[in-house]
Amino acid sequence: MKRFLCMLWLEEVSSTQDYLKDKMSLNCVVVARTQRLGRGRYGRFWHSDMGGLYFSFSLKESFKDEQALPLVLSLSVCQLLEDYGFFASIKWINDVYLKGKKICGILVEKVKDRIIAGIGLNVNQENFPEGLQATSMLLVSGRKYDTIEVLFRLLKKIDRNLDLLKERGFGDFREDIKKRLLFLGEEVILQTDPPTVGILTDLSPEGQIILLTAEGEKRVISGDITLRGTILS
C-alpha cells in the first residue's frame, strides 16, 4: 500500500474525522477504539462503542468523478465483507447494509484541497441502542473478528479502488455497484424540501442516481434516499 503512509491508533477520541480536520497530516489513517462524538452525514450521531472499527484518512489527490468517492468506498466495504462470506448491499450514496440493517457508514468531506474520509464499520458489537436499525459482523455470523486484520484488508481494497478511480473514473465501478444497489427499480423518497418521490431506475456513469419522477427524469449526485413506505434510512 503506497497511499497510507502513517497510522495513528487512539484509545478514545471525540471523532477521528475531526481529529484529522484539525491536523495537517496527509495520507494518514487515524483509528480509534471508541469515539465520544462520532458523526455521520447531516450532523447525525454515529454510535461508536467498543468493538466497532472507526477510522478516517486524509488525501490530497484528485480523482476522476470525485463526487462518486462515497460509492467507491462503499463498494470496497462490500468487497471486504464478501471476502468474509457476507453479501452486503449499498444504500446510495454512502451506507452499507446487511440483512436489512446498517453495518457501515461512510463520510467524505472536503477541507480546502484535502479529502477526509471516515468509515465506521460494525465488527464485534454485540448490541446497539434500541431503535437503531444496525447490525455487526458478529451479530450476523456469531463469531468475533480481528479488527486490525479487518482494517488492513479494507485499506488494501480502498487503496486499489482509489487507484482505479484515479486512472479510469467511475465507469469501471458502475456495474459492480449496480449489482449491490438497494432499491433499484423501486419507488424511493429523496429527502429534499419538499421530498421528491421517484422510481430509482439507474445509476449514471458518473455515480448519480436516476429517478423517474412525476416531473420527468432527475439525476442526483448527493442526498439521502429511503424506500417509500418503510423506515429504512
69 belongs to the binding site for ligand BTN (CB under 6 A): no
Contact set for ligand BTN, span 150-169 (CB under 6 A): none
Compare residues 46 and 97 and give the one whose CB is closer to ligand BTN. 46
Contact set for ligand BTN, span 105-134 (CB under 6 A): 105-107, 118-120
207 belongs to the binding site for ligand BTN (CB under 6 A): no
Least Å distance, CB 215 to ligand BTN, is: 28
136 belongs to the binding site for ligand BTN (CB under 6 A): no
46 belongs to the binding site for ligand BTN (CB under 6 A): yes
Compare residues 78 and 106 and give the one whose CB is closer to ligand BTN. 106
Contacting ligand BTN (CB under 6 A), which of 51, 56, 90, 137? Answer: 56
Write the DSSP string, the chain: --S--EEEEEEEES-HHHHHHHS---SEEEEEEEESS-B-GGG-B----TTSEEEEEEE----TTGGGHHHHHHHHHHHHHHHTT---EEETTTEEEETTEEEEEEEEEEETTEEEEEEEE--S-----TT--B--HHHHHS----HHHHHHHHHHHHHHHHHHHHHH-THHHHHHHHHHBTTTTSEEEE--SSPEEEEEEEE-TTS-EEEEETTEEEEESS--EEETTS---
Contacting ligand BTN (CB under 6 A), which of 28, 35, 65, 170? Answer: 35
40 belongs to the binding site for ligand BTN (CB under 6 A): yes
Q: Which residue has the cell 431506475?
A: 201
Compare residues 122 and 161 and give the one whose CB is closer to ligand BTN. 122
36 belongs to the binding site for ligand BTN (CB under 6 A): no
Least Å distance, CB 172 to ligand BTN, is: 25
Q: Would you call 57 exposed, middle or buried from its count of C-beta atoms within 10 A (0-12, 13-18, 19+)? A: buried
**How many binding residues for ligand BTN (CB under 6 A)?**
20
Task: Judge if the upstream peptide bond of residue 70 is cis by omega within 30 degrees of 0.
Answer: no
Contact set for ligand BTN, span 1-30 (CB under 6 A): 15-17
70 belongs to the binding site for ligand BTN (CB under 6 A): no
- Site residues for ligand BTN per CB under 6 A: 15-17, 35, 38-41, 44, 46, 54-56, 95, 105-107, 118-120
